[in-house]
Chain A
Amino acid sequence: MTDPQLGVDSVDQQMFLLDGHEVAFRPGDTNLADARRGGHYIPHLSWHPDLGAHGSCRLCTVRVNGRSAAACAMQAVAGLDVQSNTEELNVQRKTLLQMLFVEGNHFCPSCEKSGNCRLQATAYDLGMLSPHFEEFYPDRPVDASHPDLLLDLNRCILCGLCVRASQLLDGKHVFAIGGHGTQSHLLVDSPSGQLKDSAVAASDHAVDSCPVGVILHKRRGFVVPIGQRRFDLKPVSQQVEEDSP
């Protein structure tokens, strides 16, 4: 997704500091959006440049003037001193990733999203070597009802990107979040609750917004061989400009 204003320089740009680098910001934009525009990577899973602030994964938590804040939900002011790429914050991020891994059923070797998965790529990038915590092994359903799409909730990280993409980009309401606590889960808007009876189309933005392997196109799982996929080629932290799922 292109940003028409990317690279346009205004004379009196306001700046804040991100890990000691000066970053220009647009009033009203979030820290994470500003950072991305300036080519700086802040880890994130539940944020997308076209889908506004959400703040659920908490991976983008940064330190601002000694306090914690989610970069995706915070607006910059001139002179703000933001720390993101620090040992302490990266350890914290690794723990958040481990939480997401044990909460769902993530078996990377058998997942067709492997190499294109932002969860996996971020875990590699931050050096996560083990799940650390006990696995929850939740019992979650797979919905294979749709002719062209597969919905595997085992891998859902509740980022809400598909919910927002369906509403904001597709003008539909195909997805919603249900339940609470660890029982939170993705819902499909249809009388049967199944994808085949919903308004989804394989071409929907919502389908491609999934950062993990929940919403998948059928029969295209291995069109690009493992090893040649997006995050196989370059770590996620070095793909800031292409930052869209």
Chain B
Amino acid sequence: MKPMTAGFEALLERHHRQPDRLVQILRELQAQQHWLPRASLMAVADALRLPLAHVEGVVGFYRFLHCQPVGAYRVLFSDNITDRMQGSEALMQGLCALLRVEPKVVRADGRVSVAVTSCIGLGDQGPSALINHHRVVTRLTPGRIQQMAELIEHQVPVDAWPEEWQQVDDQIRLADVLLGPQPAPGDGIVAALARGPQAMLDELKRSKLRGRGGAGYATATKWQQCRETHAPMRYVVCNADEGEPGTFKDRVLLNRYAETVFEGMTIAALVVGAQRGLMYLRGEYRYLLDALEGVLARRRRQGWLGVAVQGHAGFDFDIDIHVGAGAYVCGEESALIESLEGKRGTPRIRPPFPVERGYLDQPTTVNNVETFCAVVQIAVHGGAWWAGIGTPQSTGTKIHSVSGDCDRPGLYEYPLGTRIGRILEDCGAHDTQAVQVGGPSGVCLSASEFGRRIGFEDVPTAGAFMVFSRARDMFDVACNFAQFFAHESCGFCTPCRVGTELVVRRLDKIKRGYGSSEDIQVLYELDKLMHGTTHCGLGAAACNPLHDTIAKFRPAYERHLQSLHFAPGFDMDAELSQARRATGRDDRGAHLETLA
């Protein structure tokens, strides 16, 4: 294959023709030409000396890479349950009607395609949409939809759309240490350098900080394991693939406190002895990239990044940003590393864990955005100070992304150990039926549990806090989450690939009015199977919302059941309609219900 254009050559050169930059190359190439025809894949494969099928496999894995034509305008409606509660489905239908286009089908003139995507991290200002995998439109209304249709019909470039549509507010409602005034840039590094790597690690141990991404692994232990390896290179990775539906705290931290995040990564590099850092920014947050690159450039100029950080000979560290391409599973650290290496984001077999063999098989510590922010606070204020906040097992504070049925959605930061009810009171939630803490893979709490407390010893969370009032049907919530997991299953292992799809089909059967208690039994079986057999945590957690909602809100399911006994998945009487037509009969004996 011949290289296509000078632009293509420049793109390849910018990425040094490295196969591990494949996802970045494909993303940027697609941004130039809307989609990736086979000729493009062949050119990329040729240039990177990769098998074509490998490139094709990578494109097919990510939801934001397309090897089939898409519209010149691609409108993706965020499809989390909170978006639906704010009317996203009707808005999308409205836009499709105005543009005369079917969802998921490119309009005949190639102008536009409209579809849904998993939560894009704007639950506090939805309904929202992602345009051309680059821009977002928040607070959609029928008026904005009407105007959007006109802009698309008149081929107005997205950059020229009303600026206020793209306004993303931080909405910090309650700040504690992480969301409050930040240390001055460099203060954390100066403190860490003054202590030295081992003493900084000891300080972290004293803080008892646990990872904020959901798994809750002790940060100091992870760093120590990474530090103790023997390897030519070590890496620090910031997991900014904030994909858990209903979570948007990292979006705010990256938008407002990027200095602190990068500073935390630099402290990690000092402690583990890493020379290179990578930030994995979810594709949905592409609009934050330019500002983040600006912060990196400033930090390089000021000597906080680069060769001999702050004049310390031997402490060389710099950070690259890798943009994801739409795959929730890449939030799992080993899948994230596969993606960083330019591959399909399939989780690896563990052990070995990334701290032993991670990015390019070198020791790698992967930490959450919020964890790095906490590290800077600990570097400046000390581990004992951090350990004095929260509870003995769950130290420090936690940021919650609050959305759903409440008066004041946005970010709330509390010491760990805070009562669920307290958060509900503060955000202005009334007549609350349930709260989904930690997103779909977290836990669904009913009103009787609002006295429980956030923390690793009671209700752990990665940060999502979705509120459902008594007006909501919890069955709809379960359906939405089930669709999410089926959509995001990587397809590697049998129980998750097939199981998540079977769950969707069963729930759909119940929703269509053909459900029976036998179906609920099957759902229980699938939940049990997937908990014990999947390759990674995505599949294991995929039935959590199902399990919780059936156990705690069973009447919501039973309301949809046709019978408490077996019911088939189709309307048997309707199936006989052809026979009735053929025989010209429509008497009582030709209908199942009235058959004597």
A interface list, Cβ under 8 A from B:
53-59, 61, 68, 70, 73, 92, 95-96, 99-100, 102-103, 133-134, 136, 157-158, 173-184, 187-191, 193
Distance A182 CA – B492 CA, assembled complex (angstroms) = 9
**B268 nearest CB across to chain A (Å):** 29
Interface string of B49-67 (1 = CB under 8 A from A): 0011110110011010000
For the side of the interface on B, what is the size category? Answer: 35 or more
Question: Residue among A188, A189, A190 with the most chain B CB within 10 A?
Answer: A189
A55 near B53 (CB under 8 angstroms)? Answer: no
A173 near B54 (CB under 8 angstroms)? Answer: yes
A180 near B502 (CB under 8 angstroms)? Answer: no
B569 near A181 (CB under 8 angstroms)? Answer: no
Closest to A184 in B: B491
Distance A103 CA – B61 CA, assembled complex (angstroms) = 19
Within 8 A of A (CB), among B515-543: 522, 525, 529, 532-535
| Residue from the list A54, A96, A179 in contact with B61, Cβ < 8 A | A179
Distance A159 CA – B582 CA, assembled complex (angstroms) = 47
Tell me which residues across on chain A come within 8 A of B42, comparing CB atoms.
Answer: 191
Q: Is chain B's binding surface mostly helix, strand, loop or mixed?
A: helix
Closest to B522 in A: A133
B497 near A55 (CB under 8 angstroms)? Answer: no
B interface list, Cβ under 8 A from A:
42, 51-54, 56-57, 60-61, 63, 327, 344, 349, 486-495, 497-502, 505, 522, 525, 529, 532-535, 569
Question: Residue among A96, A102, A181 with the most chain B CB within 10 A?
Answer: A181
A180 near B53 (CB under 8 angstroms)? Answer: no
Known contacts A58-B534, A102-B498: A189-B52 contact under CB 8 Å: yes
Distance A136 CA – B499 CA, assembled complex (angstroms) = 12
Distance A212 CA – B263 CA, assembled complex (angstroms) = 53
A187 near B502 (CB under 8 angstroms)? Answer: no
B533 near A58 (CB under 8 angstroms)? Answer: yes
Distance A92 CA – B494 CA, assembled complex (angstroms) = 12
14 further contact pairs, Cβ within 8 A, besides A58-B494, A176-B54, A182-B486? A55-B535, A56-B493, A58-B495, A92-B532, A96-B529, A134-B505, A158-B497, A178-B57, A181-B486, A182-B497, A182-B501, A183-B60, A187-B53, A190-B52
Known contacts A58-B535, A102-B498, A181-B497: A92-B529 contact under CB 8 Å: yes
Distance A174 CA – B492 CA, assembled complex (angstroms) = 19
Distance A136 CA – B53 CA, assembled complex (angstroms) = 26
Distance A239 CA – B290 CA, assembled complex (angstroms) = 60
B487 near A181 (CB under 8 angstroms)? Answer: yes
Tell me which residues across on chain A come within 8 A of B52, comparing CB atoms.
Answer: 189-191
**Could you pull out 20 A-B pairs where Cβ atoms are within 8 angstroms?**
A58-B533, A61-B532, A92-B533, A134-B505, A134-B569, A157-B494, A178-B53, A178-B61, A179-B61, A181-B487, A181-B488, A181-B500, A181-B501, A182-B497, A183-B60, A183-B491, A184-B491, A184-B492, A191-B42, A191-B52
